[in-house]
Amino acid sequence: MATSTKKVGGLAGVNAGESAICTCGTGHGLNYRGYDIYDLAEHCEFEEVAYLLLREKLPNKDELASFKKELIAARNLPKELREVLKLLPKNAHPMDVMRSACSVLGCLEPEEYDVFKASFPNQQRISTRLLGIFPSVLTFWHHYHTSGKEINTESKQDSIAGYFLESLHQKEPKELWIKAMHTSLILYAEHEFNASTFTARVITATISDVYSGITGAIGALRGPLHGGANEAAMELISEFSTPEQATQGILDKLARKDKIMGFGHRVYVEKDPRNVVIKQWSKKLSDDIGDTKGLYQISEAIEKVMWDQKKLFPNLDFYSASTYHFMGIPTLYFTPIFIFSRTAGWLAHIMEQRANNKLIRPSSEYTGPDNKVFVPLNKR
């Protein structure tokens, strides 16, 4: 991996390596393996984009059908994992549940690989296993601890988007909702060397297994400065009853220098290209359900204040919050949905790291004291 001696807080702007998976940032737009995010979001199902990230090409019809069959088969929860999910407390954070489940699955179905030959023959199989099983993990745990019901993974839905919505609500989802979920999963699927992806690559660089890389990435995603921002955005929006109240409330928060989640981005200066897409879906779903609380209008009022006062634009997380809410998804499940999606990107980076691996070991600038006189224990 390339290194830099440039002193920047949080390594912003530092080139930490090369990747052929994604471009993002001002002047680059957002592309997955060369394809514009707007084309992918408009024309693709999430499974097509996951295939692109994992196998470096868009699938044809037969390849997509085969890939979907693999993902459907991967939904099944092992008996031992079901027991673990039942034992985890109902008040556990869903992200902790997802992280624990990934680690447990790594014990039950360990990756076979040759460290010395750098051979990882099962990484594609494990990739589809993780993509397929994560929605089952969340919904099984949810239903067991809310109703005592042990749901199965049988479904006529052939997509992750449809399967998750059906499994969560225990009824066939609206086609509009499935399309919205496909779009959301595509927008969240990959974003270069973000905190969770870089975590996965650092772990992978030690020649660790896939499960360790994904478990570590989930841990990084859990934080509100990364994946948890969509949950924080929903909490913010829910504070207000009208657009007028939201306008004054945000002005008051800015005056107190409160942090407003869901605005600005580390790699974008003018706008988050994903926002325009998810905002359109928030409006469609608001109209679809007859949003009596006016959450979409409240969101727009907050967006206007943030731009007028701070020239900060909404990022993907902000309108994702209301989009998920309109589909009846509990707020605490917003970030686990991020896992469903970003796992495709994490796995692509794990494979790329393995293909040309070097241990990631940066240096630090020491700022502590020098030349301290040692004092023996009996004189301290």
- Residues that are catalytic: 265, 317
Rounded CA-CA distance 327/222 in Å is 22
DSSP for 115-163, please give it.
TTTTB-TTHHHHHHHHHHHHHHHHHHHHHHHHH--------S--SHHHH
d(CA 133, CA 292): 35
Residues 6+ apart with CB under 8 A from 113: 119, 120, 121, 122, 123, 209
Tokens representing 54 are 């994992």
Q: Are 233 and 318 in contact (CB under 8 A)?
A: yes
The dihedral formed by the CA atoms of 85, 341, 154 and 325, expressed in degrees to the nearest 10: 80
Token pair of 297, please?
Answer: 């209008």
Q: What whole-number distance in Å separates Cα of residue 122 and Cα of residue 133?
A: 16
Distance from C-alpha of 341 to C-alpha of 190, rounded to nearest angstrom: 8
Q: Please tell me what DSSP assigns to residue 170.
A: T
Structure tokens at 185: 């999963």
Judge whether 40 and 184 are in contact, CB under 8 Å: no
